[in-house]
Structure 1
Amino acid sequence: MSSTAAPGAEGGLRTRQGGAPHRSAGAAVRPRPRRSRRGAGTLLGIVLVAPLILLMLLVIGFPLVNTVLLSFQDQGVVGTPSSFVGLRTYQAILGDSALWESLRRSGVWLVGNLVVQTVLAMATALLLTRVGRWSKAARTWVLLPWVIPTVAVAVIWQWLTNSNYGLLAKGLGVLGLDGVQFFADPDWAMPTLILMNSWHWFPLGTVIIFGALQTIPGEVYEAAKVDGVNAWQMFWHITLPLLQPVLFALGLVGTLWSFNIIDSIYLVTRGGPSGASTTAPVMIYDTAFKAFRASEAAAMSVAAIVLLGILAWLYIRFAKPEEV
């Protein structure tokens, strides 16, 4: 009885007998696919992350939802009976010029801290990259302002700026600026607070930028020196572009962080003099715990959250470097 033969791989033959295919002894047999372990890995990841998610929902989510609900109520002291008023609280605060003025001051505070801290951190980090005994020692004590408690920072700067015996006041007196009331003058209060807060927090940016500088290969600078590039050109065309991802992240986190700072301001001026340093967080605090208008403070908080969200989106949209 004849059989039909068909050519197979490696010259082998596959025979068909009665229409049923038959593999030759040398033909490769495809292994059965094994069960994927991706599902088990995903489940393990969910189990490991779930406690953190639950903690964030408890610590952040619940207060946030409670604040939003409170903003639709008419409540004075927190915990007292209240009634639902809808959007009337938002209409009241958005029509208050004091809120918009506090947001303007918050903008000045935010931009001032961002610029001063970035310049100080960048300059200090570049100085720390120099090879030498003093540079290595400075890498340790440059963190000193960062570890000092905010209360101590407020006391130190009140002493430095005292018009009678403060070192800063005496130094300006030599330049002909006698009797400057740094925290008591509406024109000087906000700039002095920005300088004080920047002095407190710029070491954090210094550490981050210094770490990023260590990742830049030294061969890049050596090649630039061979080509006759000066120090300023190397900073502008090599260092700064390579630091863009780090500066972007630092600027985003620093912006959100600086906006919500209240302790540095409240410990020194409490929003004064004459409201010159009353930023949005200070106004929210005073509204809730001094004026006892909890619903209005909650509505201001929600408006500030929305504003910060918009600012963060705009920052990411227009300042995001290509490498991120």
Structure 2
Amino acid sequence: MKGPLFYAKILLFGEYGIIKDSKGLAIPYNTYQGALKKSKNLSEVSKKSNENLKKYFDYLVGLETTLVTFRLVEFKKDIEEGMYFDSSIPQGYGVGSSGALVASIYDKYADDKITVLENLTRDKLLKLKQIFSKMESFFHGKSSGLDPLNSYLSLPILINSKDNLEATGIPSQKEGKGAVFLLDSEIIGETEPMVTIFMNKMKNEGFRKMIDEDFAKYTDACIDDFLHGNMKSLFGNVKHLSKVVLDNFKPMIPTAFHKVWQKGIDSNDYYLKLCGSGGGGYILGFTENFEKTKKILKDYKLELVYRF
């Protein structure tokens, strides 16, 4: 048995903002993927995954929802026969490792599942997101459902607000000098503590005002520029966003990267932003000259996401 592949995702814009109902743009990232597999002889890693699936099965048994039903007897039997999730997606890196797992389980065991092949109306997208939110809450305590949705559909998704999503197209990649890239912090981040810090900060009126006025404004402008291919304007807005994040989200940025972050803003060679909840994992970068940026950041591991 080998299930279909489900890809990692990258939230290009909108981290934390989508919790507060501003815009977001998520794209599939097919460098990393995962699939359900079965084996009689499990390696240590596969055995751990199999044990985690047992815990997840227990969670689904107790899940109270009228949105979806699962073929749980079949799921349990497969786990007993040595099923595991074979994944190259790094965990705690903000690229949706649990999202791909959730997508694969919905795909295999959900009754009357919504498929990519049908006409994906806004209502269907919203229903999928709600189902995935409940399914993924097992991993993070609270989930928007966006990671599994992106992984399941393998399409760029534009989040206009909590209740308004659409599958979207992004400009095709060009062989230009510019790039979106990932910078590996080589630290594993955890979503839940970061979200807790954010929620506590949201109790502060000044912080809320900054989110509503600055963070949301630049995030929305970046998404608009990116989708319309306005690269010149995009870099101006990403610079503003990078500054806002450095000034207001310091706990989410590993301390070792504060200077590197500031250096990008000062030199205009590259701009950094959070990738997912932060606290470690990947940091997302934007540059108009990827070759030059690679030399400047030669001490770090960079991965190319998108060229323009």
Structure 1 or 2: more strand by fraction: 2
TM-score scaled by structure 1? 0.23
TM-score scaled by structure 2? 0.23
Structure 1 or 2: more helix by fraction: 1
Structure number with greater Rg is 1
